Structure 1
Amino acid sequence: MGQHGEKARGALLDAAEELFAVNGIDAVSNRRVAEHAGTANHSAVAYHFGSRDELLRILSTRHLQETNRRRTELLRSLPADAALPDLLAAMILPWVEHLASLPVPSWRARFVSQIRNVPSVHAVSTDAAAASPAMEELVRRTHAAAGNVTPSVLYGRSSILGGMVLSVCADYEARVQDGVEEPNWTGVGYFLIDACAGMLAAPVTHPGDFLAQPSSVYLL
Structure 2
Amino acid sequence: MAGRAARADQASATREAILDTAERLFAEQGVYAVSNRQVSEAAGQGNNAAVGYHFGTKADLVRAIAARHFERIEEIRVRLLTAAGDTDAVRDRVDCLVRPITEHLASLGSPTWYARFCAQVATDPALYEIMVEESLASPSLREAVAGLVRCLPELPADVRAERGQMARTLILHTCAERERALAEGTGTPRATWSDAATGLTDALLGLWLAPVTATRRS
Fold match, TM over 0.5?
yes
Which residue number in structure 2 is paired with residue 11 of structure 1? 17
Bigger shift: residues 165-174 or 177-186: 177-186
Runs of 4+ in 1 over 4 A off after TM superposition: none
Aligned-pair distance for 1:102?
Answer: 1.4
Q: Normalised by the size of structure 2, how large is the TM-score?
A: 0.90
Aligned-pair distance for 1:151?
Answer: 1.0
Whether the 8 Å CA contact 1:19–1:28 is kept in 2: the answer is yes
Which residue number in structure 1 is paired with residue 181 of structure 2? 175
Q: 1:156 pairs with 159, 162, 166, which one?
A: 162
1:180-219 equivalent positions in 2, closer than 5 A? 180-181=186-187, 184-207=192-215
1:36 is aligned with what amino acid? A
Bigger shift: residues 195-204 or 178-187: 178-187
Q: Residue 77 in 1 paired to residue 116 in 2?
A: no
Whether the 8 Å CA contact 1:153–1:208 is kept in 2: the answer is no
Larger radius of gyration: 2
CA distance in 2, matches of 1:135, 1:169: 18
Whether the 8 Å CA contact 1:83–1:145 is kept in 2: the answer is yes
CA distance in 1, matches of 2:51, 2:12: 13
CA distance in 1, matches of 2:17, 2:215: 50
Bigger shift: residues 12-21 or 138-147: 138-147
**Number of aligned residues:** 209
Whether the 8 Å CA contact 2:88–2:150 is kept in 1: the answer is no
Judging changes above 3 Å, is the alpha-carbon distance between structure 1 residues 97 and 115 closer, same or farther for their aligned structure 2 residues? same
Whether the 8 Å CA contact 1:153–1:207 is kept in 2: the answer is no
The C-alpha deviation readout for 1:19-39, integer Å capped at 9, x for no partner, is 111111111101110111111
SS of 1:42's equivalent in the other structure is coil
1:55-204 equivalent positions in 2, closer than 5 A? 55-181=61-187, 184-204=192-212
Q: 1:42 pairs with 41, 44, 48, which one?
A: 48
Q: Residue 27 in 1 paired to residue 33 in 2?
A: yes
Question: What is the aligned-residue RMSD (CA, Å)?
Answer: 1.7
Whether the 8 Å CA contact 1:21–1:111 is kept in 2: the answer is yes
Aligned-pair distance for 1:56?
Answer: 1.2
Aligned-pair distance for 1:144?
Answer: 2.2
Aligned-pair distance for 1:72?
Answer: 1.1
CA distance in 2, matches of 1:4, 1:208: 63
CA distance in 1, matches of 2:137, 2:168: 17
The C-alpha deviation readout for 1:138-167, integer Å capped at 9, x for no partner, is 111202213521110010011011111111
Whether the 8 Å CA contact 1:34–1:44 is kept in 2: the answer is yes
Q: Which runs of no fewer than 5 residues in structure 1 stay unpaired?
A: 210-220
1:130 is aligned with what amino acid? L
Q: Normalised by the size of structure 1, how large is the TM-score?
A: 0.89
Q: Which runs of no fewer than 5 residues in structure 2 stay unpaired?
A: 1-6
Aligned-pair distance for 1:207?
Answer: 4.5
CA distance in 2, matches of 1:104, 1:52: 26
